Chain A
Amino acid sequence: MTQELTQAIVELREADALAMVDRKLAEGVDPVAILAECKTAMDTIGDKFAAGEAFIPELIMAGEIMSGVSARLKPHLQSTPADDDKLGVVVIGTVQGDIHDIGKDIVVTMLDIAGFDVVDLGVDVKVDEFVTAAREKGAKIIAMSCLLTSAIDSMKKVVAAAREAGLNDTKLMIGGAPITEQVVAYTGADGYGKDAVEAVELARQWIGEA
């Protein structure tokens, strides 16, 4: 019974999963327990992605199911689930000169489900916006995305601006199709994730270290 919902989400049976959530809520099941089942499912999908058994559509579909679940649970939750347990603030965006959002959005969903407090600045985000948001929100991580090779310089500028602003406790992560170790070195960022799963893994490592 407890694994039924987990399995429906892992198999991306959207209608089944949402019907189960409705039924559980009607039966008086604790929404926090329902959320825990969902999290187990999302971890499994993340593992399958890392193992090359699931792909971007599966991550997006899983995220879509999770939005549906969250919308159903929200009225039943006393507060945002365990705010105290949030892992920390991640300020994220696609850098200036680039408007591609699909990869960034997947990372947002995955970080959110993993328990980070995600501040999504959107696309074509100016250098100052990253730095200001990171300072105001007390971000532990700034995460930058791009698809265009020409936007790599924007990442470099954000790294320089964050250093200059004295955000010494904020780690800088980059990601996107053109990113390699060479690009990490070029921009001066602290690291990169090859994909959304690696990005979450890296964020967890950094927060663990902190």
Chain B
Amino acid sequence: MAFTEDWKDLDARQRYEARMDAWANPAVEFESDAVRQQYQDRVQLFRDAVELKKPARVPIAPWMSLFPGLSQGLTAKETYYDYAKLADAWMKFHAEYRQDVLAFSINIVPVHIYDALDYRLYDWPGHGVGEDSGYQYNEAEYMKADEYDLLIADPSGYWQRFYLPRVIGAFEPWATLDPFTDLVEGPTVGPFFIPFGTPPVQEMLKKMIDAGNAAMEWIQNFSAMDAKATAKYGLPGFAGGVTKAPYDILGDTLRGTRGLMLDVFRQPDKVLEACERLVPLAIDWAVRSNDKTRHPFVFIPLHKGADGFLSDADFRTFYWPTLKKVLQGLIDEGLVPLCFAEGAYNDRLEAIHDEEIPAGRMIWMFDATNMSEAKRHLGGYQCIGGNVPGALLTTGTVQDMDDYVRQLIEDVARDGGFILGSGIVIDEAKPECVKQMIEAGLKYGAQA
């Protein structure tokens, strides 16, 4: 279903306007008109920042993961598993920490569903890591070096028959199923359904039903939790969908960092072809979720393109061209790519200032990148933000935070196009430091 009935007739700008309008006018029963106004004022802060205007003040959007739970006294395990405790902590967190967005609830990963499925891609409290640890990624060569042609020929089929049986225990029997594209004529229906009559596949289907039930419980709790915080505190979400750079899908999800790095030397053409093949999937993924959430921002965490992970030449050859196509595809759909460049991007600033991507239509959130340099390269072209260091949030003082944020705003936020945020996604940190980052943003951002 299209976002509006006349979607096909709209150009990228009109689609952007339609999505921004939907974001500013959500189907939420706000506690009062004043709260609705606060919500709309905040949306406007972000909209102005994206459009490189000077907002009424600098918008504040630190990345949150476990922190809202941990800072309210929950363990990591409770934060993931106990919906009632989390919902309670969520409201207390938002009352206490005056940021301009909802905490990022997608980072509180749905462990009940993982339990139902025997999900192996992550470790989480009680499953491979301790009760006080956040989830961690089990990187491996889930796709083998000689399987590029299978992936390129049919990504969906590859996922179903090769990737998923390797990362989800419950999906092991899926490897015995035929591709759904076999269902082209009546006589093929018989053979296709034979595996569904076998005990392992039927067991798999039962586990999928369990996972579905867990997913319903998860979405009901999480949407209620977010809706309540939005209605009471006037907080918009920071993103309504997620996608990834094609090179990262290969490196994070399929081949592993090491595997992909070696492929770039051993089979570069296959890497390029696979990245191209993943472009439409990466766009479609975001469009479908953003259409549902009616939020224009698409969160794109960037991993394998950071400084040191590739030479500049390889970045421009293997990483950027297909990420750029994804960004262009999203912008064409009226969406706002929200790239989070984890690690340092100092060597990439020149490459990512690419005039073929229209100005004022996306956001670059940085981690350890030199922000004055980011401003020099991207100022007047795209909105930038982020950067408050994780080390400072964990080991710094309140005064350190105040100084850092004041200087950051002084350096790069004076003429707008800036969002204050953390360089990392926050699990453990000193509560007083997180609070001061936000308070300093409110104080100095208003004068910016």
Contacts and interface: CB of A to CB of B under 8 A. Distances in A.
Interface of A: 12, 14, 54-58, 60-61, 64, 97-100, 102, 105, 124, 148-150, 152, 177-178, 180, 182-183, 186, 195
Interface string B127-142: 0111001101010000
A177 B258 CA distance: 17
Contacts of B130: 97
Contact of A99 (B123, B265, B314, B428): B123
Interface stretch (B21-29, B103-111, B328-336, B387-395): B387-395
Given A149-B424, A182-B391, A57 B264 contact: yes
B394 A149 contact: yes
B391 A56 contact: no
B interface, size bucket = 20 to 34
Given A97-B133, A150-B134, A178 B391 contact: yes
A14 B59 CA distance: 50
B266 interface: yes
A56 B133 contact: no
B311 to A, nearest CB: 5
Chain B binding surface SS class: mixed
A14 B261 CA distance: 14
B133 A150 contact: yes
B191 interface: no
A16 B133 CA distance: 46
B284 to A, nearest CB: 30
Nearest to B66: A150
Given A56-B261, A148-B134, 4 more contacts: A55-B309, A64-B262, A150-B427, A152-B394
A12 B123 CA distance: 35
Contacts of A57: 261-262, 264-265, 309-311, 314
A61 B391 contact: no
Given A57-B309, A57-B310, A149 B257 contact: no
Contacts of A183: 391, 395
A14 B265 CA distance: 9
Nearest to A101: B139
A98 B262 CA distance: 24
Given A60-B261, A102-B257, A180-B391, A55 B134 contact: no
